[in-house]
């Protein structure tokens, strides 16, 4: 999806979602009263944890006085931060009356992160964002879905060391993101990589490390948002392009962001 009309206004971090949202507003020089949201999306790290994360997010918004907002569960598109940013961007593009949306990543390793996306924000434009879906396969012989990651599992359902990435499908994900952004690999200045396992991280670096583009690893859902925060705060030269990639067993996503 081409989403150049959508910009990342700010990314806030703190020890919990309400404070992280307040930090995002402060960085954007906005007040809570400016945050009139028809929806927000919350990352879920486990099937049983999504509802709890949504409740924490709702309580955080209540503490800021942001009452007119609602969230909904994302069942098929994945619960990673980039997958949810794609949903937010899609809603903002489809409805010109909407101006802002939030992607909220609950606390991991002591830190929560919140991304504020805004319609027609001229900086840190999302030039493209593409997503995949569930790619989990089991030893029972189920046919793998035509997406990006294949995971081998034992008959007991336990993940094994044979977790691997289908190179052709990974190439397809990255190729789509670059093609829709109109950006060749040579124009990518930084890669922000979030993976669930060391095997996924290692294979991505083996596959794309020859391009010599710096790759920053992000080991948790908040990590890719925190990397984008650093990109914004470090005030990179105009035109700097960042490829953000999230590789999970439930979903895969890639986005090209231009400063």
CATH number of domain containing 46: 3.40.47.10
- The verdict on 109 and 171 lying in the same domain is no
Strands, E, within the chain: which ranges?
3-14, 40-42, 100-108, 111-119, 125-131, 149-150, 164-165, 190-195, 215-218, 241-247, 252-258
- The verdict on 113 and 133 lying in the same domain is no
Cα–Cα distance for residue pair 244/252, rounded to 1 Å: 11
* Domain termination residue (choose one: 87, 120, 153): 120
Average of pLDDT values for 231-253? 81
Average of pLDDT values for 164-183? 86
- The verdict on 116 and 141 lying in the same domain is no
- The verdict on 185 and 160 lying in the same domain is yes
- The verdict on 111 and 148 lying in the same domain is no
- The verdict on 165 and 242 lying in the same domain is yes
- The verdict on 247 and 151 lying in the same domain is yes
Residue 129 has pLDDT above 80, yes or no: yes
Average of pLDDT values for 4-9? 84
Which of 6-20, 49-63, 133-147, 159-173 tops mean pLDDT?
Answer: 6-20
pLDDT of residue 250: 66
pLDDT of residue 167: 79
More confident of the two residues 83 and 49: 83
- The verdict on 149 and 40 lying in the same domain is no
Residue 74 has pLDDT above 60, yes or no: no
Residue 156 has pLDDT above 60, yes or no: no
Q: Hunting for tokens 């439930």 — which residue is that? A: 250
Which are the contacts of 70, defined by CB distance < 8 A and separation ≥ 6? 38, 39, 40
Q: What is the CA radius of gyration of the chain?
A: 18
Cα–Cα distance for residue pair 215/226, rounded to 1 Å: 14
pLDDT of residue 183: 92
Closest CA to 85 of 104, 60, 108: 104
CA angle 48, 76, 242 (to 5 degrees): 100
Strand order in the sheet with 125-131: 40-42, 100-108, 111-119, 3-14, 125-131, 252-258, 241-247, 190-195, 215-218
Average of pLDDT values for 74-94? 72
Length of the chain: 259
* Domain termination residue (choose one: 74, 103, 120): 120
How far is C-alpha 103 from the geometric centre of its chain's CA atoms? Answer: 8
Residue 155 has pLDDT above 80, yes or no: no
Tally of domains within the chain: 2
pLDDT of residue 180: 92
- The verdict on 225 and 195 lying in the same domain is yes
Q: Which of 17-31, 54-68, 189-203 has the lowest mean pLDDT?
A: 54-68
Average of pLDDT values for 179-208? 87
Q: What confidence tier does 2 reach under pLDDT thresholds 50, 70, 90? A: low
- Domain span at residue 244? 128-258
Tokens for 132?
Answer: 């995949």
Average of pLDDT values for 49-75? 68
Strands, E, within 151-247: which ranges?
164-165, 190-195, 215-218, 241-247
* Domain termination residue (choose one: 120, 137, 172): 120
- The verdict on 139 and 248 lying in the same domain is yes
Which are the contacts of 206, defined by CB distance < 8 A and separation ≥ 6? none
Percent above pLDDT 70 for the chain: 74
Residue 120 has pLDDT above 90, yes or no: no
- The verdict on 159 and 253 lying in the same domain is yes
- The verdict on 132 and 112 lying in the same domain is no
């Amino acid at each position: 999806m081409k989403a150049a009309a959508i910009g990342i206004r700010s990314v806030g971090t703190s020890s919990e979602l309400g404070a992280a949202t307040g930090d995002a507003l402060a960085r954007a020089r906005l007040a809570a009263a400016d945050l009139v949201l028809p929806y927000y999306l919350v990352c879920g790290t486990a099937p049983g944890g999504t509802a709890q994360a949504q409740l924490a997010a709702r309580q955080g918004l209540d503490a800021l006085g942001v009452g007119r907002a609602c969230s909904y569960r994302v069942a098929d598109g994945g619960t990673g931060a980039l997958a949810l940013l794609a949903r937010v961007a899609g809603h903002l593009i489809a409805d010109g009356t909407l101006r802002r949306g939030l992607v909220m990543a609950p606390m991991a390793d002591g830190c929560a992160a919140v991304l504020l996306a805004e319609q027609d924000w001229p900086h840190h434009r999302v030039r493209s964002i593409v997503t995949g879906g569930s790619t989990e396969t089991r030893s029972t012989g189920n046919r793998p879905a035509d997406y990006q990651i294949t995971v081998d599992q034992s008959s007991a359902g336990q993940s094994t060391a044979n977790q691997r990435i289908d190179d052709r499908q990974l190439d397809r994900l990255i190729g789509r993101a670059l093609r829709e952004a109109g950006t060749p690999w040579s124009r990518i200045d930084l890669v922000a990589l979030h993976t669930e396992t060391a095997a996924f991280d290692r294979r991505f670096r083996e596959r794309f490390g020859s391009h010599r583009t710096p790759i920053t690893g992000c080991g948790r859902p908040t990590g890719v948002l925190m990397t984008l925060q650093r990109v914004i705060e470090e005030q990179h030269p105009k035109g700097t392009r960042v490829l953000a990639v999230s590789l999970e067993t439930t979903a895969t996503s890639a986005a090209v962001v231009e400063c």
